[in-house]
Structure 1
Amino acid sequence: MDPYTGEVAEFFDVTGMNWIHSDAWNSITKTLLAKEYEDAILNDFVQTICQWIIQKQKEADEIIIEGTL
């Protein structure tokens, strides 16, 4: 949800800002960490990004991902 307009996005915007609230990140990281990845590099990436997100949640209510496609 965009904190300024209140608009809720139904899908990830690959060309713009994606405001993702901490509650949603909890669900996202839980799902990603529960999966088993055969590719070791992918597994390391998922672990690293999820731990970064979990740490940043201590400092912020939301994390914004910018689509740059």
Structure 2
Amino acid sequence: MKWIFWFFVVNFISVIALMKGVISGENSFVGIIVAFTAWGLFIRAIVASQEKKKKAKNREQMLDEYLKQQLRK
């Protein structure tokens, strides 16, 4: 649910940055850089979260296997 909030925040930041770059006209690269940086950080946070969940799941499976082995002894 928090990702939806951050998605809208990133959308807002990138739209404002791109519009500022278009309106100012003299240096639109700053707006483009800000917009793509915001999206890059957003995607990086999502990927890191997925990796953290995957590691936790692997750890839990390893612990389950270890406990099963201990019960068999």
Settle same-fold status: TM greater than 0.5: no
Structure number with the bigger relative contact order (C-alpha 8 A, sep ≥ 6) is 1
| Greater radius of gyration (CA) | 2
Higher strand share: 1
TM-score, scaled to structure 2 = 0.41
TM-score with structure 1 length normalisation?
A: 0.42
Instruction: Give the helix-richer structure, 1 or 2.
Output: 2
